[in-house]
Amino acid sequence: MWNDKVLGNCFTFNHMNSLFQYKARASGYAGGLEMQMNVKQSEYLPWTETAAVMVFTSTSKEVVTSESVRINTAPHFESRIAINRKDYHRLGGRYGKCVKAIKEVKSYYYDGDYTTDGCLRSCYQDVVEETCQCMDPRYPMPSDGISCNISQKTCIDNLVDTKGDPSKWPQCSCPLPCSQTVYTSKLSRLPYVNKIIDCEQSFINKAACYEKYFDSVVLRIALPKLDYMIYSETPAMDLTKFMSYLGGILSILIGVSIVSFVELFFLFVQLVVILLFNKRL
């Protein structure tokens, strides 16, 4: 369990700091994760509009934020989430800009692997500190960072209203990572049946049992298949392809082949020998 200043208490399965990492060894819901969680709607504040458990899917090395994509799983339903993995490998260098290590960006205050969102929020914190002499307490900050108080909230609001989204700020250069794993999620929900077999036992308090079920979320997460797609950038033209295309074009236009280059080489050597030593090979 860990705490986020915006999300509150978060429970992470296969967290990066866990001593043991569970592996998916079978596809489908039979080989996935299944849990039942009590929503405890009686403890919600009166003005809360939605009762649900927020579910985030990410790699074990990635830290979720309050802006991360989430799925709300409502009580009185069995929620099934099918996740699919996609890997992206970018070339970087002369082919484009991407980040291989966190040290390549100016600031990064999140744990785990580099993400573009984490870089943008870290840059946002730097700009807030430069403008307001404090940092937004909703997001991570360095150990010596000073959190803004209520009286300084107006400064942050004015900064955001004036400059807009951090992704468009000239100070924030946050390229995509060179290697990235993305999980996409698809939600389906099944309502509980009218009679729950666990609550129909003669020795069980039916009212309390049904109340417990109707205030809980049954969550099942699985990989429909264990294989995944890999999208990898490759150069449109490298040295091997260039030589191949050049040889093909020359052979078509002027009848030049690799044998012609060998003959030219021997002719050049023979001319040098004749000129220097007045001899024939």
DSSP for residue 217: E
Distance CA 162, CA 111 (A): 29
Q: Residues of CATH 2.60.470 domain(s) within the chain? A: 1-86+183-236
Distance CA 280, CA 80 (A): 84
Find where tokens 């979720």 sit: 64
Amino acid identity of residue 82, one-letter, is: A
Q: Which CATH class is domain 99-177?
A: mainly alpha
**pLDDT digits 0-9 by tens, 45-68:** 888 778 888 899 888 888 888 888
Per run of 10 residues, the mean pLDDT along the chain (length 281 residues) is 78 85 85 86 81 88 84 87 93 89 92 91 93 92 90 92 90 92 89 70 76 82 90 86 78 68 81 77 60
Quote the tokens at residue 51.
Answer: 């009762």
Q: How many CA atoms lie within 13 A of 160 on its CB side?
A: 9
Q: Which CATH class is domain 1-86+183-236?
A: mainly beta
Q: Residues of CATH 1.10.287.820 domain(s) within the chain? A: 99-177
Give the residue among 224, 124, 135 at the shortest CA–CA distance from 169.
124
Per the prediction, the chain carries an average pLDDT of 85
Find where tokens 């009762």 sit: 51
Distance set, CA 122 to CA 59, 253, 257 (Å): 20, 57, 57
